[in-house]
Chains A and B, each alone.
Chain A
């Protein structure tokens, strides 16, 4: 009788433990092998990563011009800061109209800083507009300041005046934000009266003087400022 009991005990024990352990091991192996396949698949796939902004208006043409301007006017690879009309003409290798057309998609993004005739001082509204636009960087990489002068007066004087206007905006940014990155982000062009005068279609841009009638001579005593949402 005791032998029978011992035999029953042994059979039950071996059977139960055996089935239990085998099932457990099998289930673990099955689930874990799926993981190895997953690791292989994952190594082949790339996750979505954070990146600078790249919007629709960043056409190949725009990027080409931007690159030339940035390289030659001191933003990429160091060097001096800023370009003047003759250089812009040569570097950009495009017509006045095409140059302005590049900036048109920025009408909702950028702003127009208007100056008094023959002056380069910023009024309070201009300062506020510059600061607001600078703070609204989003994913942009570069900030452009493109200053001009109206056709009143000699070209040489207007060239110097537009240079001072561009600098006024830059200096204000530097004084207000004291951010070393400004050096790496701001592109400066001064076009005087000789290249790419603005047409009335720029009247829709945000201005520091919205009440002033929008005439071509007024809007060319200006600096166009905007972040550019393109990756180069």
Chain B
């Protein structure tokens, strides 16, 4: 093996080490959430030189990516699913193994290491392109740690191309000879088998290590509906294959409710649930249970949803689309401006929002909440009368829904 090939392997090693580091950081952040709580995460191209955070705006991209449906697979079978960063780490670790093997044995120019390295580099690069496309077109965010992995993949591919070019020359010069054709194929198969094990074994180990959370995700409260509860539920849209009832307890100005709603709409498993909304505005203007408003303006917007009746889904979607702006107006005590915005967009609701009957209806809705001793938080989601635990409203949502739907036939187990 020539010096040039050795240098090319060093480039491969740099890509592989970077890949292992970024994959390790992502995996570590993912694993820390297996206690079903929120934790600070890393989101930097220099993860060892920046603080982990949960509230810093710079980690927003990584948060979105982490909680998106694309961060892991087999989510129905394992709480949170298996993070893609696990097989990714396996792939980069394998590339590192090939580098070490080649540099120690000086046989890096042979076909076994060359072909397996090419397969690993192509897999890493294709996966990076797919994930990059998803982050741009679906998530609309840039996740710095993910970008690090993409860079590592491209360095790996570059190094591999150089290895292939220089190895070809080395093989010609050293005239590599195998005793039999079987030995030639055997070396290639050995490396490809190792590549397969490197990628699949960590996935299996991870899957085997994640505990069964079935008891935990089905241990939250039951809904105790009053006789009149149905009268206060707002129908948004009918699910096509709905076979069970879901109740979404929400405050129109609660950002977590919007995030939950978006996540829910993106899930296949949610298509089996016919979701209706129960409004619980955390605004002291109408909610006597609060001393201070968490979301000023939420009472007014709740009235708008109530008034919309058959077109409630339109109003509801508009509120969530403009939630940040409306929330800021509310926090600035500009309730009148919120009213103007609502009336400008939905002029036919103007009288109803101010009517006494609407005020009474909203008040009765809150009394229903009191009669049912509903937890005073949003969002809450009930499936078949059983609450999705707060800890399962993000990473573990799909896993929890499958179990609450009474269908534990996940995609693997």
Residues of A within 8 A of B (CB): 2, 4-5, 8-9, 12-13, 16-17, 20-21, 24-25, 27-29, 31-32, 34-36, 38-39, 43, 47-53, 131-132, 134-135, 137-139, 177, 179, 181, 229
Contact = CB atoms under 8 A, between A and B. Distances in A.
A138 B363 contact: yes
Contacts of A135: 356, 359-360, 363
B126 interface: no
A185 to B, nearest CB: 10
Interface string B369-399: 1101111110000000000000100000000
A50 B288 CA distance: 10
Given A8-B104, A48-B377, 16 more contacts: A9-B194, A12-B101, A13-B194, A24-B209, A25-B205, A28-B209, A28-B210, A35-B211, A35-B216, A36-B211, A50-B369, A50-B375, A51-B370, A52-B370, A53-B288, A131-B356
Main secondary structure of the interface of A (DSSP, over half): helix
Contacts of A8: 101, 104-105
Contact of A48 (B86, B105, B206, B376): B376
Interface string B25-52: 0011001111111000000000000000
Contact of A47 (B97, B289, B376): B376
Interface string B104-134: 1101000000000000000000000000000
Given A31-B35, A32-B34, A17 B198 contact: yes
A49 B35 contact: no
A134 B356 CA distance: 10
Interface stretch (B2-10, B88-96, B269-277): B88-96
Interface in B332-386: 356, 359-360, 363-364, 366-367, 369-370, 372-377
A7 to B, nearest CB: 9
Contact of B89 (A20, A51, A132): A20
B31 A49 contact: no
A139 B31 contact: no
A32 B35 contact: yes
21 contacts: A13-B194, A16-B97, A20-B93, A24-B209, A25-B209, A27-B31, A32-B210, A35-B211, A35-B216, A38-B35, A39-B215, A47-B376, A48-B377, A50-B280, A50-B366, A50-B375, A51-B373, A137-B363, A138-B288, A139-B366, A139-B367
A28 B216 contact: no
B100 A38 contact: no
A9 B288 contact: no
Contacts of B89: 20
Query: What 4 A-B pairs are tightest by C-beta distance, nearest first?
Result: A139-B288, A28-B209, A34-B35, A50-B369
A215 B97 CA distance: 98
B197 interface: yes
A38 B205 contact: no
B202 A24 contact: yes
A68 B362 CA distance: 31
A9 B206 CA distance: 24
B201 interface: yes
A25 B210 CA distance: 8
Find the residue from B33, B86, B213, B360 having the highest chain A CB count within 10 A.
B360
Given A13-B194, A135-B359, A21 B105 contact: no
Find the residue from A27, A34, A177 having the highest chain B CB count within 10 A.
A27
B86 A24 contact: yes
B370 A50 contact: yes
A38 B36 contact: yes
A138 B209 CA distance: 51
Contacts of B53: none
Find the residue from A31, A131, A138 having the highest chain B CB count within 10 A.
A31
Given A47-B377, A51-B373, A24 B206 contact: yes
A48 B375 contact: yes
Given A39-B216, A47-B376, A52 B210 contact: no
B267 interface: no
Find the residue from A27, A47, A50 having the highest chain B CB count within 10 A.
A50
Given A48-B377, A131-B356, A135-B360, A17 B197 contact: yes
B242 interface: no
